Structure 1
Amino acid sequence: MSGQIKRLKRELKFEGKIINFYQDTMEIDGDHTVVWDYIQHKGAAAVVPITDDGRILMVKQYRNALERNTLEIPAGCLNTEDEPGVVCAKRELEEETGYRSDDLEWLITLRTTVAFCNEKIEVFVAKNLIPSKQNLDDDEFIDLKAYTIEELKKKIFTGEIEDGKTISALLAYDTKLRQSE
């Protein structure tokens, strides 16, 4: 393991809507330099919405990077880097599912790709859902459906669900659920 790593320079290469892409020039052990990619992300929040009968609301939406629809828990970017995750989770719950809740509990915090990105996603569980109105962004087209945790675990282990935040959140919820029984 390297003894000392020091950033010599950070150069912005691209400024995007969701991310900023930098190249960092790093000095390793004082004797050589390397260039590392760094993606800055302002953060996100996600929510595992639990219906009164114990099912989980999931959103199916098109993901451009994969060129197909994916099945995920509701999630979205923070409006600002200092926005509390629970505020974002409440907003995304209502926007994407048409339900709101005042009963959100922190479940897990994820760092999605630590090798080159600082993205942090706080995940909450929402219970006591109250019907509201879906309010999708202009670029969102979402289908909503409720599943049991067993149905979702089967979808994870057959490869139908591949999204990392969704897999982590559902398995963490399942573990926590079993521990509380």
Structure 2
Amino acid sequence: MTSEPGVSDDWLVDRLAPRPVVEGDLIHRGKVWDLRGEVVDLGESQVLREFVDHPGAVAVIALDEQDRVLLLQQYRHPVRHDLWEPPAGLLDVEGEELVLAAARELAEEADLRAASWWRLVEVFTTPGGSNERIVVFLARDLSAVPDHELFERTDEEALMVPVWVPLDDAVDAVLAGRLHSPTTVTGVLAAAAARARGWSTLERVALG
């Protein structure tokens, strides 16, 4: 389906369209997310769907003055891989604004602050099996977090390896299938596409 000349392209948008939930059960309550089962009325039929109930997350594509992107190597046990990812984290602070959560994660995982922020892209990571939604921000005008404010990282985060990669090299790695994290793939490609448009398509956001 394509729009005819003179017809708006606004139809090409994912729209919120919830179906009635007939019944629902909490199958498992986890430390970070839960597993739920819901019977959904589709009109012609009712179906049982099980899914991960996720709090959501944010990620940060941090670019320096040389258009290098910061990636962190982190072990992800479900896929048994060391993945190269941007700084990211859960929306686990009640009432916290998205951009403030992103700034917090940038400071905690990369010891960095950013003076300039844009909303870059957002994605449902696994819409057939989870309601996880990740909002990816672009951060620029970077500076180091003062030593007395450094965050003490633990568990997998304590072993993260940071690297600065030219954005074009990161794009090549994504297109060659060498990088697999959804925040890396979507964030890197979105940043490259936005740069090609002179950054004019991005929505700037303010901290606080």
TM-score by length of 1: 0.89
Which stretches of structure 1, 4 residues or longer, exceed 3 Å deviation after superposition?
Answer: none
In 1, Cα distance between equivalents of 2:84 and 2:29 = 28
Shift of 1:143: 0.3
Partner of 1:6: 20
Between the aligned partners of 2:114 and 2:100, the Cα distance in structure 1 is: 11
What residue ranges of structure 2 are gaps of 5+ in the alignment?
Answer: 1-17, 200-208
Report if the CA contact (8 A) 2:66-2:166 is conserved. no
Instruction: Quote the offset at 1:81 in angstroms.
Output: 5.7
Are 1:19 and 2:37 an aligned pair? no
Number of residue-to-residue matches in the alignment: 177
Are the aligned partners of 1:43 and 1:81 in contact in 2 as well (CA < 8 Å)? no
Deviations 1:81-127 (A, max 9, x none): 64211011101111111111131111112111222322111111111
Instruction: Give me the identity figure in percent.
Output: 25
3-state SS in 2 of match to 1:22: strand
CA drift at 1:33: 3.4
Residue in structure 2 matched with residue 142 of structure 1 by the alignment = 160
Q: Match for 1:117: what amino acid?
A: S
Partner of 2:20, secondary structure, is strand
**Alpha carbons 1:86, 1:124 under 8 Å: kept:** yes
| Larger strand proportion of the pair | 1
Paired amino acid for 1:137: R
**Separation of aligned partners in 2, 1:128 and 1:28:** 48
Unaligned runs of 5+ in 1: none
Q: CA deviation at 1:34?
A: 2.3
- Selected match of 2:128 from 106, 111, 115: 115
Instruction: Give 1:136 deviation, angstroms.
Output: 4.9
Q: Does 1:126 align with 2:139?
A: yes
Of 182, 195, 205, the match for 1:164: 182
> Hey, what's the Cα distance between the residues in 2 that align with 1:80 and 1:103?
22
Alignment equivalent of 1:177, drawn from 195, 201, 207: 195
Give the superposition deviation at 1:29: 2.8
What's the TM-score once normalised by structure 2's chain length?
Answer: 0.78
